[in-house]
Structure 1
Amino acid sequence: MEKTRGQLEAQISDAVIRFEKEYMGRGPLETKTYILDDLVVVRLKGVLTRAECQLAESTDAYNGRDLIKRMRHALLEKGRPMLDAIIHDILGTRVKSLHTDLSTITGERIIIFSLESRPEALPE
């Protein structure tokens, strides 16, 4: 049975939550995924730990917010093969590139996967 767009998006959200919990050590409070043609946009809310929130409030941006962003970006890049595999397994197409940013003010992270092609599993 073919899955709906909503089911595929929910499956990606669940998989990214598992990745965040298992690989990053803490899952987001809320996750929503959007599949748009050959892009997958994942929005994660509440990703910062208490310690990171304290660090984000530091007046020294380099040793506070920038440090959090650099560390989180490096961790995500190291775990990228796992994320690429998650997307490939669910949608049946390979990831071309991954883009991400994190707001240390709101604790929200956006991950954008650019795909090699529109997913075959995606209903019209």
Structure 2
Amino acid sequence: MKNFSKGQIEDQLSKKFMQFEREFLGRGPINVKTDIIRDMVLVRLEGVLTKAEVELAKDLDGILMVKSMRSKLLENGKQYLTKIISEVTGCDIVSMHTDISTKSGERVILIKMDKVLFG
């Protein structure tokens, strides 16, 4: 990590999250943007909903199902994500938080690291 700039690490993380979405969840987002803020990594994924999820999310029950399912899938992939984060940053994950908009198809993931990456 010491030989890489903040932008290079953010780019590497974006690529790894794109790969995670494709390999672990079966479908990749249209775009991924990652920002490192002190000891946090903020990942924004655009275009993550499948056509079936868009249809399902037309009422409140469906919205809650999509949000719950996506949250559970991310939790199930935490070991994979922990490995990605560690390889790219040299840090461990303290906590991970996520939400998805069923209107815009955008997902955000906030990861709290065990140390400050860039002050």
Q: Above 0.5 in TM-score?
A: yes
Unaligned ranges ≥5, structure 2: none
RMSD: 1.2
Distance in 2, matches of 1:97 and 1:56, equals: 27
Displacement of 1:103 in angstroms is 0.5
1:28 paired with 2:11, answer no
Instruction: Kindly provide the CA deviation profile for residues 36-56 of structure 1, in whole angstroms up to 9, marking residues without a partner as x.
Output: 110000000000001111111
Map of 1:55-74 to 2, 5 A cutoff? 55-57=56-58, 59=59, 61-62=60-61, 64-74=62-72
1:83 paired with 2:84, answer no
1:109 aligns with 107
Unaligned ranges ≥5, structure 1: none
> When the two structures are aligned, how many residues end up with a matched partner?
118
Q: Structure 2-normalised TM-score?
A: 0.95
- Deviant stretches of 4+, over 4 Å: none
Q: Structure 1-normalised TM-score?
A: 0.91
Distance in 2, matches of 1:112 and 1:87, equals: 12
1:31 counterpart letter in structure 2 = V
Percent identity over the alignment is 42
Displacement of 1:4 in angstroms is 1.1
Distance in 1, matches of 2:28 and 2:94, equals: 25
